[in-house]
Structure 1
Amino acid sequence: MHILMLGATGRVGSHMLERALNDNHRVTALVRNTDKVQIESRNLKVLEGNVCINSDIRNAAVGVDTVVSALGTDGGTTLSESIPSVIKAMEDEGIKRIITIGTAGILNSRTEAGMLRYQSNESKRKTTRAAQEHHKVYELLEKSPLDWTIVCPTYLPDGEYTGEYRIERDFLPENGEMISVPDTAEFAYSQIAENRYIKSRVGIAY
């Protein structure tokens, strides 16, 4: 399989990149700074570019089977600015599958029907800016014809790999308070070969 990976140098993305290469997948990583890619492989093609530039995304998507986005909010609007270009490039190339890393804030609230967690009294964040960015991505993917899955971790320390966690469609598992980066990466990576959570958000926590 040929995977386009966005956010490959980030905390979750770097773990997913390593897993993909260990499984002998071909990976094209679109990054802002190629020096930050610390892994070498004959199956890895690193392209320097900007996810917010249409031509960079278009070039990176050529010949790809699946897109994985572990992009963060980076204090700006990278997510909401880039996703329209990603969706368009995927449609143009006939790519259907995309897995993205979101946030538990865009899962459904258990306490306030019809609201997302970040909009409800479940939210413990002082600011909702990051959740609003992820919400825009969710809305655009939901309107698209793509087979998308948004993996939504709660508090995300680096932590250790355990391989044991709870998942739930559209909600955060009850009393879930945290999930490590390696465990989040494992579950998100597993979705490349799975179709159980197509067109769904998935909450993940211990």
Structure 2
Amino acid sequence: MVARALEEGHQVTAFVRNAGSLPDNPALSIRIGSIAEQPDLVRQVVQGHDAVLSALGNPLWLKGMRGPAILAAAAANLVTAMHATGVPRLVLPLAWGTGLSRTAASPLVRAIAATLIRRDFRDFDAAEKLVTTSDLKWTIAYFGALTDDEPTTRWNASTHIRTPNPLAIARADVARFLISSLDDEALVKQHVVLSGAANGNTSSRSPGNCISDGPPGRRCSRRSAT
């Protein structure tokens, strides 16, 4: 996500625990710390920026990772810092089945959210509530199954809350949507569902996005993501 934002000409501050994988770029400033645990530092880092784009997530214990649920604490610190410093725009990606999207999720997703990864979904729900009840210009973006596939030409973003179709979506496409949404006033205070590439059409060139107020998969207007 950082690399894509830099490619699009943004000045970026990355607030991370470990800077090892970040590129060397004069437009990139790196701050080391914990958004969930260091509210004063969060305020310092946020100061002077136009927007905040979150890439936070909890450790995936299903993949053998361990660690605390941090999203709600991080969201609380971000909202407080942004209010205090006058930074208006926040884009927050969350797993499909979180918050508002749960009522439209399948019985299987709802069951998993209530049992196997209950801790995480409670944390996601709390983060969403903190953001959507704030005075910020927020956008919540729901994603399904993330893949490491190449960027695609036919992914879809819809304000209609329905199961993503296809459910799988490339991380690169999620990043592209999140970055492009920062300047999109039509998406302020909107919940958006991200669906993967239709027909498996993938390409590393000329990716775009499709924004619709109808169900995922419905024909909609094409916008350039660059």
With the length of structure 2 as denominator, give the TM-score of the two structures.
0.74
1:175–1:116 Cα change, 3 Å? closer
Structure number with the bigger relative contact order (C-alpha 8 A, sep ≥ 6) is 1
> Sequence identity, in percent?
27
Root-mean-square deviation (CA), in Å? 1.9
Out of 19, 22, 26, the position equivalent to 2:4 is 19
Cα distance, 1:191 vs. partner? 0.4
The yes-or-no answer on 1:63 pairing with 2:44 is no
Cα distance change, pair 172–116 in 1 and its aligned pair in 2 (3 A): closer
> What corresponds to 1:76 in structure 2?
68
Q: CA deviation at 1:92?
A: 0.9
The answer to whether the 8 Å contact 1:179/1:205 transfers is: yes
Q: Are the counterparts in 1 of residues 52 and 90 from structure 2 also a CA contact under 8 Å? A: yes
Q: How does 1:144-183 map to 2 (within 5 A)?
A: 144-169=134-159, 171-173=161-163, 175-183=165-173
Match in the other structure for 1:10: none
Confirm or deny: 8 A CA contact 2:139 2:188 kept in the other structure.
Answer: yes
Q: Which moved more, 1:146-155 or 1:28-37?
A: 28-37
Q: 1:27 touches 1:44 (CA, 8 Å); kept in 2?
A: yes
Structure possessing the higher radius of gyration over alpha carbons = 2
Q: 1:175 to 1:48 in 2, by over 3 A?
A: closer
Show structure 1 runs of 4+ deviating over 4 A.
none
For 1:165 and 1:147, how far apart are their aligned partners in 2? 24
Matches within 5 A, 1:97-176: 97-106=89-98, 107-109=100-102, 115=103, 117=105, 121-123=107-109, 125=112, 126-169=116-159, 171-173=161-163, 175-176=165-166
Alpha-carbon spacing, 1:44–1:97, altered in 2? closer, same or farther (3 Å): same
2:32 pairs with 1:48: yes
CA–CA distance in 1 between the matches of 2:104 and 2:128?
A: 12
Match for residue 85 of structure 2? 93
**5+ residue gaps, structure 1:** 1-15, 110-114
Q: Report Cα offsets for 1:40-66 as digits up to 9, x if no partner.
A: 111111011111211110111121110
- What is the DSSP-based 3-state SS (H/G/I as helix, E as strand, rest coil) of the residue aligned with 1:100? strand
CA contact (8 A) 1:167 1:173 kept: no
* Structure 1 Cα separation of the partners of residues 70 and 50 of structure 2: 23
Aligned to 1:201: 191
TM-score using structure 1 length? 0.81
Secondary structure at the residue paired with 1:47? strand
Consecutive unaligned residues in structure 2, runs of 5 or more: 60-66, 197-226
Does the 8 Å contact 1:166/1:173 carry over to 2?
no
Indicate the SS of the match to 2:127: helix
Aligned residues between the structures:
183
* Offset of residue 129 of structure 1: 2.8
* Alpha-carbon distance in 1 for matches of 2:163, 2:185: 20
